Amino acid sequence: METAEIRRRFTAHFEKNGHTVVPSASLLLDDPNLLFVNAGMVPFKPYFLGQETPQWNRATSVQKCVRTLDIEEVGKTTRHGTFFQMCGNFSFGDYFKEGAIRFAWTLITGSVEEGGLGFDPEKIWVTVLPSDTEAKELWHEVAGMPYERIQERGLEDNYWNMGVPGPGGPCSEIYIDRGPEFGPDGGPNADEDRFLEIWNLVFMQESLSQVRSKADFDVEGPLPAKNIDTGMGLERVAYLLQGKQNMYEIDEVFPVIEKAAELSGRTYGENHVDDVRFRVVADHVRSALMLINDGVTPGNEGRGYVLRRLLRRAVRSMRLLGYEGHALAELMPVSRDRMKASYPEVESGWERISRVAFAEEDAFRKTLAAGTQIFDNAADQVKAGGGTTLAGAQAFALHDTYGFPIDLTLEMASEAGLSVDEEGFRSLMAEQRARAKADAKAKKGQHADTHLYRAVLDEHGATDWLAYSTLETESTALALLAGGEPVQALTAGQVGEVVLDRTPFYAESGGQVADAGTLTFDGGSLEVLDVQRPVRGLVVHQVRVVEGELTQDAVVHAAVDPSWRTGARQAHSGTHVVHAALREVLGPTALQAGSYNRPGYLRLDFGWTQALTPEQVKDIENVSNEALRADLPVSWQYMSLPEAKDWGAIALFGETYDESQVRVVEIGGPWSRELCGGTHVDHSSQVGTVVLTSESSVGSGNRRVEALTGVEGFRYLAKERDVVAELTGILKTQPDDLVGRVGDLVERLRGAEKELERVRVAQLLASAGDIARGAAKVGTVNVVAHRADGASGGDVRTLATDVRNRLPQGEAGVVVVVGVADGKVALVAATNDEARSRGVKAGDLVKVLAPVLGGKGGGKPDMAQGGGTEVGKVDEALALVATEVGKAVGA
């Protein structure tokens, strides 16, 4: 039974039993505690925590998940995988233990012909918490399970909590007996390789006040409503039903291994080392496919770094298998074709997915070419010195200079029989990050702990948010906060937070900054500094008290700065216009990956792997302004998320949307149709103008355009006009002739600089004869040690070579020239054949002299060079030349 069919049967079974089928959430669900969705219940957490009211009493889903803690273990065992799918059914105060057990049992033991999974009931074992006699009896009564196949396990295995105060409860796990060839008999308590867990049923029935560990917590009391949360591992069920040994051999994964074997000429199953690499390739290619599909692009931080690591480990594993070609172009289409049955979007979005992945492989191939030799040299030096540890500084240099991530260095070091000073590396990384962030503004962190805001929401209810309909309201101050604590008053000069019963202020979201404005009351006023939504439904205003004292329950007049709002609307609508123009000029795969807009300014990040040409930038700007001139209508309406997608609305990657109601903003009908909660103009002409000011890279596979709108755009153009006017005045020309005139001046300047350089070099070389005639004798060797002020590296090398050629033919000659320019020292040593035959080598001389000059250097016996910064020690270094030559020739 194929994996997609198991998936279909799971959701069909629960839909038939009154559950709403909820589509998988994005892997990038907005949760500050998670890098990726790592469990099937994560999208439902707000319901279980009581933060939100569920839309249904019963739900079922097959959730995409990524776990990254065990990346290094992938392939080494057959249990660790990065991407996986978790099938789940959920009850919110509806059915409880009896229902969960009955639904699970009828699905796994139901006949294949009737839509079940067809497992043999005699091979099923379950575990329960010793104190959960209710679950034990239900398994016996509902499923007919004999007591000897119902085993008890402690809190570590059979109690679930979230690691924080909140819901908890016992759980019951379902195991399948794989047979005696996999281990001893005796159920899960005897062996978990033979008895494989496939499903966990969680019975949320208790409220926990303190959680110290998985098995150490305080129970506050029963939950007001009991819930069910279950998770069935789709890949595990698939390899059991497909008769395979592990998840790497199922129909959605193994074809990639087969292709990798074909490309490499190696055979899967012949040896453990190669098998690990094959499994790494199969897992990481599939995981990367799904991450890119959900909007992740490779980078050096967070999610982007995980994706980069997965892609690069896959590519490198293929190289270790002996395949030197472009691996992802061969392997990723295989994974796409296997996954599209369950996720058709990987096929429709293939152009963008492939562009991102293939560009990353190209970049990594360059990294490998540059860094592998450096690593090999460093490893050889460590071994030659009898060491076993690569220094943290060397690992840091590989990362900082050659782009080698530390995990790659660790892998290569392990393969070379070495360890790495990870503590030293991380210390240097921390120092670098501290320097980089020293001048950065503190991130907004007021809303990290949301308990206080939830208490306000529970007490007063949701804020009546009126930003779409008005700029002013009469409101009541429901709660005042300062320093993370409730207060009764805010006084003059104090910065705090205010929660109003209603507000016209736009709270920062969707890339649009918060409104500016004021709160005024009898006897005082406050400046609104920021507006946020720390929890859904609650709007919080950060304020500074300008005068007076604001007390709780005071009536205030809330007023948005109308000029600010106008500029913000222009910028946000301008962002949609630029996004549509991008897709018109570059194609439909140029999708927004992030945005930021404030009054008069916008920036838009989008997935693209190469710099835009000047013509493309010009075309995007032209298309944008043509749309403004067309005075396109701007409108919005609400609909369900599935309706919006069917309608062709574009959703931002990684954003979380309410399934039942989303806001779709249109500009010119289908020309621009996006999910958006921002404020907008009524007609495109009200944006005023769009002036693109820059186009740049913001990481591998991502580009950024920045633009000005409205008055700010006109001011920018006016400033450019003034610059043109000033230049035309200086150059006595017309604006249309300005570019040609400046080009002529630049060419003349370049010509003059070349002539000056030619004269300078000629003068330098003219002195070579006099310098050669001033050679001193050290034994039978003619020695020149010369200081050349004003000469840089290339000049010094040219002069040393010319002087060497002018020394007497047939006699040994050594030339050392030290140039001093711009506070730096350039050192060159040159020897002829006769000097080298007497044992004088240029490289040896430079190795002695360069440290005196505060630098280093080296080279070949006939020519070597170095540098330094100790200008004051040039004469000291030159004085050593005769001494070193004398040592070499015994004079």
> From the annotation, which residues make up the binding site?
572, 576, 676, 680
Place of tokens 């792997």: 609
* Phi, psi angles (nearest 5°) of residue 227: -125, 160
Greatest pairwise CA separation for the chain in angstroms: 111
Grouping H, G, I as helix, E, B as strand and the rest as coil, residue 835 is: helix
Grouping H, G, I as helix, E, B as strand and the rest as coil, residue 782 is: strand
Which amino acid makes up residue 597? N
Alpha-carbon radius of gyration of the chain: 35
From CA 253, how far away is CA 399, in angstroms rounded? 32
Q: Are 628 and 668 in contact (CB under 8 A)?
A: no
Q: Are 300 and 701 in contact (CB under 8 A)?
A: no
Sequence ranges of the binding site for Zn(2+): 572, 576, 676, 680
Angle formed by the axes of helices 738-766 and 793-806, nearest 10°: 30
CB count, 10 Å around CB of 129? 21
From CA 279, how far away is CA 408, in angstroms rounded? 17
282, 287, 292, 297 alpha-carbon torsion, rounded to 10°: -100
Helical residues (DSSP H) of 587-688, grouped into ranges: 614-629, 641-646
* Phi, psi angles (nearest 5°) of residue 301: -135, 150
CB count, 10 Å around CB of 384? 8
Structure tokens that stand for 127 in this block: 């575990």
Angle formed by the axes of helices 406-415 and 350-384, nearest 10°: 50
30, 33, 39, 43 alpha-carbon torsion, rounded to 10°: -30
Give the CA distances from residue 337 to residues 251, 252, 257, 347, 663, in Å, rounded to whole numbers and listed in that order: 11, 9, 14, 8, 33
Q: Are 659 and 55 in contact (CB under 8 A)?
A: yes
Structure tokens that stand for 213 in this block: 């560990």
The one-character DSSP state at 62 is: E
From CA 73, how far away is CA 58, in angstroms rounded? 36
Grouping H, G, I as helix, E, B as strand and the rest as coil, residue 205 is: strand
From CA 523, how far away is CA 347, in angstroms rounded? 63
From CA 434, how far away is CA 418, in angstroms rounded? 29
Structure tokens that stand for 429 in this block: 């990384």
